[in-house]
Amino acid sequence: MKKLLVLFAAIMLSASAFAQIETPVKWSYAAKRVSKTEAVVFFKATMEDGWHIYSQNVKEGGPNKTSFTFAASKDFTPVGKTTEPKGITKYEKVFGMDVTYFEKSVIFQQKIKLKTAKATTVKGKLEYMTCNDMKCLPPEEVAFSIPVK
């Protein structure tokens, strides 16, 4: 009996050692210069089936909204707010409110005013929260560095 308990404990420990951190959202980035003094930066989130991320416009008391923070730079200035397409809005019992979210993929866009004609790099961080029908993962912060040529 004692050997059986030791074997069971060893199996449970080895199984937990191989548990993987869930990463159901992948981010990709691009930038497009639209004139000598303007560019658009793109942030694409691709979610695994069943997962979603939330809009930037979630009200207080709801899930963590997606947010973008740009590092100060002498080469560029963000123009206005980061834009997003129309998402799916539904009532979520767990939050007790209507929330807007995105499934499969979403592209956020940020216009920037360039202060120089030379190539630059847009740096900063984004924060998002992802959920499925069973659970939500803790909010995640991701640093980005996007070349603008």
Q: Could you read off the pLDDT of 81-122 as tens digits, one per residue?
A: 999 999 999 999 888 999 999 999 999 999 999 998 899 999
Look up residue 21 and give its two tokens.
Answer: 């951190």
| DSSP reduced 3-state for 145 | strand
Instruction: Give domain status of residue 20, yes or no.
Output: no
Q: How far apart are CA 123 and CA 143, in angstroms?
A: 8
Instruction: Give the number of residues written for the chain.
Output: 149
Instruction: Give domain status of residue 9, yes or no.
Output: no
Q: How far apart are CA 142 and CA 107, in angstroms?
A: 16
Instruction: Give domain status of residue 89, yes or no.
Output: yes
Domain with residue 47: its CATH number is 2.60.40.1250
Q: How far apart are CA 100 and CA 93, in angstroms?
A: 13
pLDDT less than 70: residues of the chain = 1-20
The total of structural domains in the chain comes to 1
At 20 the pLDDT is: 58
Instruction: Give domain status of residue 2, yes or no.
Output: no
Q: How far apart are CA 138 and CA 130, in angstroms?
A: 8
Instruction: Give domain status of residue 79, yes or no.
Output: yes
Instruction: Give domain status of residue 13, yes or no.
Output: no
